[in-house]
């Protein structure tokens, strides 16, 4: 596992930043975990699902077309509009690709539903306790949150995934990689999703996100970061990032986020 740590703080931080409660983000293939103050986003939907936990107290979510819900843990569904309208202290967010298996596992961790929304994770007390330790154990967080990292056991899929990670900017095609590892395209795509926890197309997006973030840490400008990662333009990178997570890289910078990049 390669780990890169960087401070994404802008030269001049927004007055809304809380130096005593920094925002820390762990970015890895298929998952993002963040811990810190709420980013105070407008109502939005993202391509990822997310478990939110109020570390220091309950928080209030406003689902689209439903009354506010105040809870200590909430499962944000992918492509559903939500807004955190009030929070007390730090929030833990675990973003993950909403494959059928991952969603079933995550929903199984929630105790009840309110207005059709899943709330009250059965391991929330343990998740809160983890957040009060000096160094957050991200693997344990994901395990408790019912979204553990997928394990790529099949050597053929591991080989294809490593090819993508080695050069995410390349125009990878499922048919070509499937043939290279000796599988039919249909079986390759099904096995790839089972083994990596995300689709072939989304895996490439994740790999490109990590490559762009690594470029930023290396001091490259946005144009080079986007190009080196396979994005047509910096705005293409920003738009893709926003569609996945519901916020932009500039949001992280304005919050003075500390970014941890983890890649195999």
DSSP codes of every residue in the chain: -EEEEEE---SS--TT--TTS--EEEEETTEEEEEES---PPSB--SSEEEEEESSS-EEE--TTS--EEESEEEEPTT--B-EEEE-S-EEEEEE---HHHHHHHHTTEEEEETTEEEEETTHHHHHHHHTSSS--HHHHHHHTT-PPP----HHHHHHHHHHHH-TTS---HHHHHHHTT--HHHHHHHHHHHHSS-HHHHHHHHHHHHHHHHHHTT--HHHHHHHHT-SSHHHHHHHHHHHHSS-HHHHHHTT-EEEEEE-
Per-residue pLDDT, 2: 41
- Domain ranges for the chain, please list them: 2-144, 155-247
CATH of domain 2-144: 2.60.120.10
Per-residue pLDDT, 62: 93
Assign a CATH topology to domain 155-247: Arc Repressor Mutant, subunit A (1.10.10)
What's the farthest any 2 CA atoms get from each other in the chain? 55
Per-residue pLDDT, 103: 87
- Enumerate residues 6+ apart whose C-beta is below 8 A from 33: 25, 26, 92, 93, 94, 95, 136, 138, 141, 142
Per-residue pLDDT, 60: 95
pTM: 0.86
Residues of the chain with pLDDT under 70: 1-20, 263-264
Per-residue pLDDT, 228: 93
Tens of pLDDT, residue by residue over 111-152, are 999 999 999 999 999 999 999 998 899 999 999 998 877 778
Q: d(Cα 105, Cα 101) in Å, to the nearest integer?
A: 6
Per-residue pLDDT, 18: 39
Q: d(Cα 10, Cα 117) in Å, to the nearest integer?
A: 36
Which residue bears the tokens 């961790």? 109
Q: Do domains 2-144 and 155-247 have the same CATH topology?
A: no
């Amino acid at each position: 596992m390669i780990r890169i740590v960087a401070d994404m703080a802008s030269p001049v931080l927004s007055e809304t930043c809380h130096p005593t409660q920094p925002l820390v983000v762990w970015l890895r293939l298929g998952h993002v975990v963040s811990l810190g103050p709420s980013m105070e986003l407008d109502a939005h939907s993202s391509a990822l699902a997310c478990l939110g936990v109020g570390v220091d107290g309950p928080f209030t979510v406003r689902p689209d077309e439903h009354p506010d819900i105040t809870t200590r843990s909430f499962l944000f569904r992918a492509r559903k509009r939500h807004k955190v309208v009030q929070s007390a202290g730090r929030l833990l967010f675990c973003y993950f690709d909403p494959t059928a298996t991952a969603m079933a596992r995550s929903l199984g961790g929630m105790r009840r539903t309110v207005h059709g929304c899943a709330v009250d994770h059965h391991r929330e007390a343990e998740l809160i306790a983890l957040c009060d330790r000096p160094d957050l154990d991200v693997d344990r967080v994901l395990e408790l949150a019912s979204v553990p990292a997928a394990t790529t056991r099949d050597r053929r899929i591991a080989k294809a995934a490593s090819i993508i990670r080695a050069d995410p900017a390349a125009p990878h095609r499922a048919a070509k990689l499937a043939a290279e590892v000796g599988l039919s395209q249909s079986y390759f795509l099904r096995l790839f999703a089972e083994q990596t926890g995300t689709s072939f197309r989304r895996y490439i997006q994740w790999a490109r996100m990590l490559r762009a973030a690594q470029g930023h840490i290396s001091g490259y400008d946005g144009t080079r970061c986007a190009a080196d990662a396979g994005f047509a333009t910096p705005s293409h990178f920003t738009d893709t990032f926003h569609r996945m997570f519901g916020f932009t890289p500039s949001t992280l910078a304005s919050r003075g986020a500390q970014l941890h990049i983890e890649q195999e």
